[in-house]
Amino acid sequence: MGQIVILDENTSNQIAAGEVVENPASVVKELVENSIDAGSTNITVEIQKGGITFIKVIDNGCGMEEDDVLIAFERHATSKIRSSNDLEGILTLGFRGEALASIASVSVVELTTRTKDKPYGSYVRVKGGTVEEVREAGCPVGTTFVVRDLFFNTPARFKFLKKDSTEAGYISDILNRIALGNPHISFKLVNNKKTVVHTPGNKDLLSTIFSIYGRETAKECIKITYKDEMFEIEGYAGKPSIARSNRNWQSIYINGRYIKNKTITAAIDEAYKTSLMKNKFPFVVLNIKINPVLVDVNVHPTKMEVRFTNEQDVFRAVYYAINNALLSESLVKNIEIES
């Protein structure tokens, strides 16, 4: 008799969750990205015990239709693409339709949501992938997710969680990054009933930097604006005086998505080469707009990695964007004039 079986849906969702849901911070990232895709202008995240026992994400986005609230928890269920053709040119943060299925398979999730054209909304509770309750609910327009007891049914995963304060730190880091990439949205993080971050959502990146990193940092920032046929780059470059000994102060966005990329960090290093000592890394927030067809975001389930069709062009644009900003403050030598 054959030995191979097809795994049941819950098991395969739990396996898939291993790729997307590593810790409470990844739950927050996925939920907040969904809130952004829903067009929210206000997003509040409340956590308790480092997000391990409790995460609540409240948004004022478009909400979900009654007919969609259950299917949203299915794997590969998404409203953001229709076919593989749409994978070229993605402008939403989500598209894989995996996050809700994954999160709900390893926790207890409550969803309350309403669209603007309905007088009432919906409530759903899913525990370990099983729907336990669905009903109508009175609620404001928008969506609220509550995620409790992460990894309650996957002890092997639970064991790898760190101290509450460490997990809370990861959450605040990812939320800060997302907030810096979306100055038009007001983000609030409440940890154990205390507000730790609150960004203005006034479209101004510098005041967003101020609300996250404080006055001393905001004061030492130089504006970056750059445009060529392929790229539009905006952001802030920190003066060498606020450089640090690691890269944690660098945030890079492609079309609004927070990413990590070696070519871009190399271009940043090159632009600061003459103004920073070795092993010092500048504060940089860089929003890069590029035709989405020229970048592949479907490289990894967490979508933090991207591939560019032309790495060299990206390098050059980032280098000049930062170099021009530093030049305007005369922080680097103008090589063209000197030679």
Chain residues that interact with Mg ion, rule: CB under 5 A: 34, 94, 99
Amino acid identity, position 2:
G
Say which residues have a Cβ less than 8 Å from residue 286's Cβ, sequence separation at least 6: 224, 233, 235, 250, 251, 252, 253, 264, 268, 318, 321, 322
The pair of structure tokens assigned to 5 is: 């079986």
Helix axes 262-272, 311-328, angle to 10 degrees: 30
Residue 96's binding partner out of ligand ADP, Mg ion, none, with CB under 5 to 8 Å set by partner kind = ligand ADP
- In the complex with Mg ion, the residue whose CB is nearer, 99 or 212, is 99
Of the candidates 288, 214, 297, 207, which has an alpha carbon nearest to the alpha carbon of residue 255? Answer: 288
Of 13-21, 76-84, 162-170, 323-331, the window that binds ligand ADP (rule: CB under 6 A) is 76-84
Tell me how crowded residue 84 is: count the other CB atoms within 10 A of its CB: 8
| Residue 56 CB, nearest approach to ligand ADP (Å) | 12
* Alpha-helix runs per DSSP H in 21-88: 24-37
Q: What is the 3-state secondary structure (H, E, C) of 141-159?
A: CEEEEEEECCCCCCHHHHC
Say whether 139 sits in a helix, a strand or coil. Answer: coil
The interface with ligand ADP within residues 133-172 (CB under 6 A) comprises 143
Choosing from 12, 79, 263, 275, the residue that interacts with ligand ADP (CB under 6 A) is: 79
Using CB distances below 5 to 8 A depending on partner kind, what does residue 201 bind out of Mg ion, ligand ADP, none?
none
Binding segment for ligand ADP (CB under 6 A), chosen from 98-106, 122-130, 181-189, 287-295, is 98-106
Binding track over 14-53 against ligand ADP, x by CB under 6 A: ----------------x---xx--x---------------
List phi, psi (to 5°) of 149.
Answer: 50, 55
Token couple for 159: 């064991």
Among the listed residues 49, 96, 177, 188, the single contact to ligand ADP using CB under 6 A: 96
Q: Are 9 and 129 in contact (CB under 8 A)?
A: yes
Residue 72 interacts with ligand ADP (CB under 6 A): yes or no: yes
* Amino acid letter, residue 118: K
Question: Of the two residues 60 and 102, which places its CB atom closer to Mg ion in the complex?
Answer: 102
> Where does the chain show beta strands of DSSP type E?
42-48, 54-59, 108-114, 121-127, 130-137, 142-148, 186-191, 194-198, 221-227, 231-238, 250-254, 257-259, 284-290, 295-296, 307-308
Residue 59 binding target from Mg ion, ligand ADP, none, CB below 5 to 8 Å by type: ligand ADP
| Options 16, 21, 62, 252; binder of ligand ADP; rule CB under 6 A | 62
Residues 123 and 70: their CA atoms lie apart, in Å, by 10
Residue number closest to ligand ADP, CB atom? 94
Could you say which of 41, 66, 97, 200 contacts ligand ADP (CB under 6 A)?
Answer: 97
Gap between the Cα atoms of 91 and 257, Å rounded: 9
Closest separation in Å from C-beta 298 to ligand ADP: 11
Our CB check for ligand ADP shows the closer of 113 and 208 to be 113
User: How many residues bind ligand ADP, per CB under 6 A?
Assistant: 22
C-beta of 21 vs 62, nearer to ligand ADP: 62
Q: Which is nearer to Mg ion, 50 or 301 (CB)?
A: 301
Q: Does 77 bind ligand ADP (CB under 6 A)?
A: yes
Q: Which is nearer to Mg ion, 102 or 176 (CB)?
A: 102
**Residues forming the site for ligand ADP (CB under 6 A):** 30, 34-35, 38, 59, 61-64, 72, 77-80, 94-100, 143
